[in-house]
Amino acid sequence: MRKNAVSILALGVFLFRPVFANAAENRIPFHGLKTVAVFVENIDQEAVKDGLSKEQIKIDVELRLREAGIQVVPVEKSLSLSTPSYLYVIVNTVKFSSGLEYVYGTSVQLKQVVVLKRKKPAKLPIAYLWATTWEKSEGVEITWVEDLVGNVREHINEKVDAFISDYLAENPK
């Protein structure tokens, strides 16, 4: 039980960190964004055994984006574009020792290459790095094992819908 409590606390700390670029008035991450790739982080093997699939989550996210008119490209292709970006989907799960329930959290982040500009006459090169420019992460949930797949997919879909809404607000069709 102590192990589960520590795991739940760690998961909560991860998911409750501040989100800085998510305000409705801050649409900068979406300006000029024409394509997006989707990358789903590896899922805990216990959750995979209980039916959670990285591939199915990726298909769900890509389908929602395409239905909204957002062009989806493979991660490899995104890296060669002038504005590389990808949606990073994270699912964290911890199965209770009883084997009957899970605690889980989901996060959807827009990752983009940003440029670290330096004042002239800087002798240091311009730095390019990946940064989270948009994010939706909310708390943790508890679910029965048999409801894990449906609940995780539903929470990810809600976050992807928020991304689509913010994207379309900046890039109307």
pTM comes to 0.80
The domain limits of the chain are 2-170
Give the pairing of strands 71-72 and 35-40. parallel
SS3 state of residue 138? coil
Average pLDDT over all residues of the chain: 84
At residue 67, does pLDDT exceed 70?
yes
How confident is the model over 80-100, as pLDDT tens digits? 777 789 999 999 999 999 999
Of the candidates 151, 158, 170, which has an alpha carbon nearest to the alpha carbon of residue 64? 158
At residue 16, does pLDDT exceed 50?
no
Residue 19 binned pLDDT confidence (cut-offs 50, 70, 90): very low
Structure tokens at 34: 């024409």
At residue 121, does pLDDT exceed 70?
no
